Amino acid sequence: MSENTEPQTAEVLTEVQGNVLVITLNRPEAKNAATQNMAQTMARILDDFDANDDLFVAVITGAGKTFCAGMDLKGFLRGERPSIDGRGFLSLTEAPPKKPLIAAVEGYALAGGFETMLACDLVVAADTAKFGTPEVKRGLVAAAGGVTVLPQRTHRAIAMEMALTGNMYDAEFGQKHGFVNTVVEDGSALDGALELAQTIAANGPLAVKVSKQVIVESQDWTNDEVWQKQAPLIADVFESEDAKEGSRAFAEKRAPQWTGR
């Protein structure tokens, strides 16, 4: 059963489906362009998500068949920024949640919207989706991840092309160059993302969380540090109640009952 936890008039909506939180950017009339209010709302939503032991995975999508067209430029001209100090664009790009986050992309994911997508761990995109960092066309720089995170997600030459031309690219291009995981039919990105989320949510939440942590943090580790820094994180998982439950469930041929401990 779904549970709505945000007023339907809000610029960001949330819905719980089992152990999965669905976050919907909800300014379809403006192609979900991000506002300061949306960033403040997202900060609370993401904090609550990480703190809620009953939620294992989150999916972020956009209303009206558009993911997010970037920053609300009218708000920018009024001196507003859709970001929070230390957290980044939509309170996400500099401080992603500790749990897995999946982007379900229909339509446009441009500028800050594209960088919001890059802050997610996995991306499911409709075959009609369009991606780009058009900031240079407006005299700006893709500073929310377009010139820093994108080179880590794809080849340097591709990141350079996207950042310097400001052109748009399709979902096939995104999958070919590593920043899109799965391409699905138009209109089915959220369904595809939810299917992926449920697959992840069926696994041990502590093991999933630590797996993400090691993948993210090890990018900054030297070869000599990898095993030493991984060891205490992995040890906590192997000593957990969930590890014992996983083994028991396998032996008893039943679905495990995870506690996250």
Catalytically active residues are 115, 135
Beta bridge mates, 68: 109
The pair of structure tokens assigned to 151 is: 């080179």
User: Residue 162 and residue 132: Cα distance in Å, rounded?
Assistant: 7
User: Residue 81 and residue 89: Cα distance in Å, rounded?
Assistant: 8
User: Residue 196 and residue 216: Cα distance in Å, rounded?
Assistant: 20
Q: Are 89 and 47 in contact (CB under 8 A)?
A: no
Beta bridge mates, 124: 104, 182
Q: What is the DSSP pairing of strand 12-17 with strand 20-25?
A: antiparallel
